[in-house]
Chain A
Amino acid sequence: MSDTVASWLAGAVADAKQRGLAPLEPLLTTLAKSTAALRAADAEFRAADTAHGTARPDPASER
Chain B
Amino acid sequence: MSDVTASSISALAPQLKALTVSPVDVTRACLARIEAHRSGNAFIAVRGDDAIAEARQAESEIAAGRYRSPLHGVPIAVKDLVDVAGMPTTSGSALPAYVPAHDAPVVRRLREAGAVIIGKTNLHEFAFGTTSEESAFGPVRHPIDPSRSAGGSSGGSAAALALRMCYGAIGTDTGGSIRIPAAACGIVGLKPTLGELSCEGVVPLSHTLDHVGPMALTVADAGLLYQGMKGTTIGTVAPAGGRLTFGVPGGYLQEPLDADVARALERTRAALRKAGHAVVDVSIPHAEWTADVYLHIVLPEAAWYHAPLLAAHADKYCPGVRLRLEMGRYVLAEDYVRALRLRDVLARSVEQSLAGCDVLLLAALAIPAAPIGAATVEVGGSTQPVRAAMLKLTQLFNMTGHPAISIPAGPGTDGLPRAVQLVGHRGRTDRLVEVAAAVERALR
> Which residues of chain A (9-44) have a CB below 8 Å from chain B?
12, 15-16, 21, 23-24, 27-28, 31, 34-35, 37-39, 41-42
Nearest CB in chain A: distance from B338 CB, A: 5
Q: Could you pull out 10 A-B pairs where Cβ atoms are within 8 angstroms? A: A8-B330, A21-B323, A24-B323, A34-B292, A35-B331, A38-B342, A41-B289, A41-B292, A42-B341, A45-B341
Please tell me which one of the listed residues B291, B293, B323, B332 contacts residue A8 in the complex, with CB atoms under 8 A apart. B332
Question: Contacts A38-B292, A38-B295 given; 12 further ones with Cβ under 8 A?
Answer: A15-B330, A23-B319, A24-B326, A31-B299, A31-B327, A34-B292, A37-B289, A38-B338, A38-B342, A39-B335, A45-B341, A45-B342
Residues of B at the A interface (CB closer than 8 Å) are: 286, 289, 291-293, 295-296, 299, 319, 323-324, 326-327, 330-332, 335, 338-339, 341-342, 345
A42/B342 in contact, CB under 8 A: yes
Known: A37-B292, A41-B289. A12 touches B330 (CB 8 A): yes
- B48 CB to closest chain A CB (Å) equals 41
Find out whether the CB atom of B326 lies under 8 angstroms from the CB atom of A16: yes
Contact of B327 among A24, A41, A42 (CB under 8 A): A24
Count of chain A residues near B, Cβ 8 A: 18
- Residue among A16, A28, A38 making CB contact with B296, cutoff 8 Å: A38
Contacts of A41 in B (CB 8 A): 286, 289, 292-293, 342
How many angstroms from the CA of A38 to the CA of B326 in the assembled complex? Answer: 20
- Looking at the assembled complex, report how far the CB atom of B401 sits from the nearest CB atom of chain A, in whole angstroms: 19
Query: Taking the nearest CB of chain B, how far is it from the CB of A60, in angstroms?
Result: 18
A27–B327 contact, CB under 8 A?
yes
A38 and B323 contact, CB distance less than 8 A: no
The distance in angstroms between the C-alpha atoms of A30 and B94, with both chains bound, is 28
Q: How far is the CB of A62 from chain B (nearest CB, A)?
A: 20
Q: B residues within 8 A CB of A21?
A: 323, 326
Are B296 and A23 closer than 8 Å at their CB atoms?
Answer: no
Q: How far is the CA of A37 from the CA of B335 in the complex (A)?
A: 11
Flag if A28 contacts B327 (CB, 8 Å): yes
* Neighbour of B331 across the interface among A23, A31, A37, A39, CB < 8 A: A31
Give the chain A neighbours of B341 by CB distance below 8 A. Answer: 42, 45
**Interchain CB contact under 8 A, A42 and B338:** yes
Question: How many whole Å from A16's CB to the nearest CB in chain B?
Answer: 7
- A14 to B264, alpha carbons, bound, how many Å? 47
Given A31-B295, A35-B296, A38-B342, check contact A23 B335 (CB 8 Å): no
